[in-house]
Structure formats: structure tokens, C-alpha cells
């Protein structure tokens, strides 16, 4: 699954000498490089180069048209004292802290429920997975309509049971963030559910049989068999979900544009605003780099913490 799962390189002596003798080392290396080349070219051209470029740009004052002016760490100094940055930072943390666990828990819940055989199971599975296939932009537009205070179906239904918001759900500072969070969960839960489903189906049935013979109840079986054996999936799902939520953008851009008064502005929204609206690409790059470091650190911590619980078969 990850690089660290690959066996460490064997010491030279253990490499079969006869095989090596077949051809010169350079040729064998060439073969290896040729296999690696496609991935490496993509990686360098579309990941490493842009990343290096972004780091360089973060040290400049750059607007796309005039040449970039090198200004050292000025962007980072400004960033530390920029209330807009800290607002976006804490919004991002809040978004990730709520959406990640809710998504993962719901995905697990759905997966366990939909792993049982019942009539219409395929339909329910599809219904939950469907939002993941649809573009987030389209989803966000659809939800904006549903939540519209004047023509929205959902607003109407809520109004029927006595829940009215005088202004729209998306422009009320109390509800805007929960609304974009809900759409984020709704969109991604199906994808993680499918990963969990795959995990569930790979748990051998004899474990459950053994547990039953031992006289366990369903909750104990879930707690002691299902959950531990799903920890690989949980690691994958929670790392993916965390990275995705820290980069929340589409639904926020379409539904609220970061408003009302920046209550839903996340770091990626801020990067977009500083870059493409304020035309400050250097500053936007600096924020991107800070976000990159933040995501990297959190992912590593999460990985290190959860890997100890990983199961190997």
C-alpha cells in the first residue's frame, strides 16, 4: 500500500550472483529506469516541478504579467500577522476536525449495514455512492438550489415543520459552515464506504463463526473482529479523508464563496482569492506552501499513530 510496505533492499551478497552475471549492471539498471520512467516523468513534470516553482514564487512578488520580484521571506512574515490567514486556517481546521471523523464513521456505519443482505441493497449502495461520481461543482449548485430561502425545496420542507431561517441557510453565518460541511460529507461518504465494503468482504467468515461459538453478541463481534480487521482500511480512509477535507474548496466556492464575511473561507479558498482575485500569486504560493507543510505533518502523525494498529495477514 505504501512505500514502507515494500521489503527493504537486500544486502548485496544476498542478490543471486548468477543472475547478476547475466548482463552488466548498467543494463539491468537501464531496464529498471525504463520501467520507472513513465511515472518519474509524470511525477517530475506535474508534481515536483510545480512544487519547486511554487516554493520559489512564494519568495517573490508576482502577478503573472510582470516578472517576479524576489522579496525573500516577506510573504511569510506578512502571513503570520494576517488575520485573514488565521481565520482561514482555523476554518480549515474546524472543517477537517468535523468532516473527517463524521465521514469516516458514517462510511463505516453504512458499509456494515449494507454488507447485510436485504432487498434493495444495490439501490441503496448506488444511492450513497452516486454523489461521489458527480462533479462537486454540480452537487454544490444543486444544494444551493435546495437550500435557497425562496425557491428551495429543502427550505420549504423545513418551513413546513416550523424551521425557518429568515435569510438563506448559506448566507446565515450560523448555518453556512454546517451546510458546506454536510455537502462535503454527503459527497465523499460513498467512496469511503466502498473501501470499507471491500475490507468487510475480505474478512474470513470462519472468524465470525469462531466468535459465535465463543458466545459473543453482535456488538462484541463488531468490536473484536470487524473493527480490528478493518484497521488497514481505516488508516487509508482517514488519511485520504483528512487530506481531502484540508483541501476543501469546490463546494465552498460554489455555495458560499467563503462568505458570509469569511466564515466559510478555508485555506484553499484564501489561496484562490489572493491569487486569482487579488492577483498576488507570490503570497498565494506562500499560503499553499504552508498548507502543504501542514497537510504533510498531520498525515505523517496520523499515519504513524494508526500504523501501530495495522493488521497484517
Partner 1 sequence: MKTQHWFRSRRVRGIRVAVVGAGLLALALSGCAGQGSGGGEDGGSADGKVSLTFWNGFTGPDGPALQQVIDDFNASQDDVEVTAEIMPWDTLYQKVLTAVAGNDGPDIIAMSAGRMPQFAQQGMFEGVDDYYEDSANDSAALAPAAIEASVFDGVNYGVPVNFTPMMMYYNKDLFEAAGLDPEAPPTTWDEFAAMVPQLTVDDNGDGKPEQYATALGDHETVPVFMSLPWGTGGGVVSDDGKTSMLGEPASIEALDFWVDLVKNQKASPLGLSGADADKLFTTGKAATEIVGPWMTTGFDEAGLNYGIAAPPAGPDSDAILADVVSMGITSGADDATKQAAYQFFKYWNSKEGQITWSSGSGFPPNRADVADQVTSSPYPAVFGAADVVDRSKILLAGVAAGGTIGETIFWPTLQKALNGQGTVEELFSAASEKVQAELDK
| Nearest-10 crossing angle of helices 281-307, 231-246 | 170
Choice between 172 and 295, CB closer to partner 1:
172
Only one of the segments 13-21, 52-60, 97-105, 305-313 lies at the binding site for partner 1 (rule: CB under 8 A); that segment is 305-313
Task: Let me know: does 265 contact 273? Beta carbons within 8 Å.
Answer: yes
Choice between 16 and 119, CB closer to partner 1:
16
Task: Let me know: does 116 contact 290? Beta carbons within 8 Å.
Answer: no
Residue selected from 42, 127, 133, 292 as contacting partner 1 according to rule CB under 8 A: 42
Shortest distance, CB of residue 8 to partner 1, whole angstroms?
A: 18
Shortest distance, CB of residue 129 to partner 1, whole angstroms?
A: 25
Burial class from Cβ neighbours inside 10 Å (0-12, 13-18, 19+) for residue 170 reads buried
Shortest distance, CB of residue 297 to partner 1, whole angstroms?
A: 29
299 sits near partner 1 (criterion: CB under 8 A):
no
Cβ neighbours for 10, distance < 8 A, ≥ 6 positions apart:
none
Residue selected from 171, 247, 299, 302 as contacting partner 1 according to rule CB under 8 A: 171
Q: For residue 79, is the peptide bond before it cis, meaning its omega torsion is within 30 degrees of 0?
A: no
Instruction: Draw the binding track, 258-277, toward partner 1 (x: CB under 8 A; -: no contact).
Output: -xxxx----------x--xx
Cβ neighbours for 137, distance < 8 A, ≥ 6 positions apart:
250, 254
Residue selected from 131, 152, 168, 190 as contacting partner 1 according to rule CB under 8 A: 168
Shortest distance, CB of residue 168 to partner 1, whole angstroms?
A: 5
Q: Which ranges of 22-82 would DSSP assign to H, the alpha helix? A: 25-43, 49-57, 74-80
Whole-number Å distance between alpha carbons of 139 and 187: 8
Cell of 75: 510573504
Whole-number Å distance between alpha carbons of 157 and 163: 9
Shortest distance, CB of residue 189 to partner 1, whole angstroms?
A: 27
Shortest distance, CB of residue 50 to partner 1, whole angstroms?
A: 14
49 sits near partner 1 (criterion: CB under 8 A):
no
In sequence order, what DSSP letters do the residues of 241-254 get, joined into one string?
HHHHHHT--HHHHH
Only one of the segments 3-11, 61-69, 124-132, 292-300 lies at the binding site for partner 1 (rule: CB under 8 A); that segment is 61-69
Choice between 21 and 67, CB closer to partner 1:
67
Residue ranges in 135-154 that form contacts with partner 1 under rule CB under 8 A = 148-151
Whole-number Å distance between alpha carbons of 101 and 249: 18
Choice between 103 and 155, CB closer to partner 1:
155
Shortest distance, CB of residue 188 to partner 1, whole angstroms?
A: 26
DSSP H or E run through 150: none
38 sits near partner 1 (criterion: CB under 8 A):
yes
In sequence order, what DSSP letters do the residues of 178-233 get, joined into one string?
HHHHHHHHHHHHHHHHHHHHHHHHTS-HHHHHHHHHTT--HHHHIIIIIHHHTHHH
CA distances in angstroms from 129 to 43, 170, 208, 263, 312, listed in the order given: 30, 25, 27, 29, 28
Residue selected from 23, 24, 173, 218 as contacting partner 1 according to rule CB under 8 A: 173
Residue ranges in 201-230 that form contacts with partner 1 under rule CB under 8 A = 202, 204, 228
Residue ranges in 229-258 that form contacts with partner 1 under rule CB under 8 A = 257
Q: Which residues bind partner 1 (CB under 8 A)?
A: 34-35, 37-38, 41-42, 45, 63-66, 84, 148-151, 159, 164-168, 170-173, 202, 204, 228, 257, 259-262, 273, 276-279, 311-313
Amino acid at each position: 500500500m505504501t512505500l514502507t510496505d515494500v521489503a527493504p533492499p537486500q544486502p548485496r551478497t544476498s542478490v543471486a550472483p548468477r543472475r547478476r552475471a547475466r548482463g552488466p549492471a548498467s543494463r539491468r539498471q537501464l531496464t529498471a529506469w525504463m520501467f520507472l520512467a513513465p511515472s518519474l516523468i509524470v511525477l517530475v513534470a506535474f508534481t515536483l516541478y510545480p512544487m519547486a516553482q511554487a516554493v520559489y514564487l512564494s519568495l517573490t512578488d508576482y502577478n503573472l504579467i510582470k516578472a517576479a520580484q524576489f522579496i525573500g521571506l516577506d510573504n511569510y512574515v506578512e502571513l503570520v500577522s494576517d488575520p485573514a490567514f488565521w481565520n482561514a486556517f482555523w476554518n480549515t481546521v474546524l472543517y477537517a476536525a468535523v468532516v473527517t471523523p463524521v465521514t469516516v464513521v458514517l462510511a463505516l456505519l453504512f458499509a456494515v449495514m449494507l454488507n447485510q443482505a436485504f432487498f434493495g441493497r444495490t439501490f441503496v449502495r448506488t444511492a450513497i455512492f452516486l454523489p461521489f461520481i458527480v462533479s462537486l461543482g454540480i452537487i454544490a449548485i444543486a444544494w444551493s438550489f435546495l437550500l435557497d430561502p425562496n425557491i428551495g425545496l429543502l427550505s420549504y420542507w423545513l418551513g413546513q415543520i416550523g424551521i425557518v431561517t429568515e435569510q438563506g441557510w448559506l448566507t446565515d453565518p450560523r448555518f453556512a459552515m454546517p451546510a458546506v460541511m454536510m455537502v462535503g460529507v454527503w459527497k465523499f461518504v460513498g467512496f469511503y464506504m466502498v473501501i470499507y465494503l471491500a475490507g468487510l468482504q475480505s474478512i474470513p467468515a470462519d472468524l465470525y463463526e469462531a466468535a459465535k461459538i465463543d458466545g459473543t453478541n453482535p456488538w462484541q463481534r463488531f468490536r473484536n473482529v470487524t473493527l480490528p480487521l478493518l484497521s488497514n482500511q481505516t488508516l487509508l480512509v482517514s488519511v485520504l479523508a483528512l487530506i481531502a477535507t484540508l483541501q476543501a474548496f469546490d463546494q465552498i466556492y460554489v455555495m458560499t464563496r467563503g462568505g458570509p464575511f469569511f466564515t466559510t473561507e478555508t485555506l484553499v479558498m484564501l489561496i484562490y482569492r489572493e491569487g486569482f482575485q487579488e492577483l498576488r500569486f507570490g503570497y498565494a504560493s506562500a499560503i499553499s506552501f504552508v498548507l502543504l507543510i501542514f497537510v504533510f505533518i498531520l498525515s505523517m502523525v496520523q499515519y504513524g499513530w494508526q500504523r501501530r494498529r495495522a493488521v497484517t495477514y
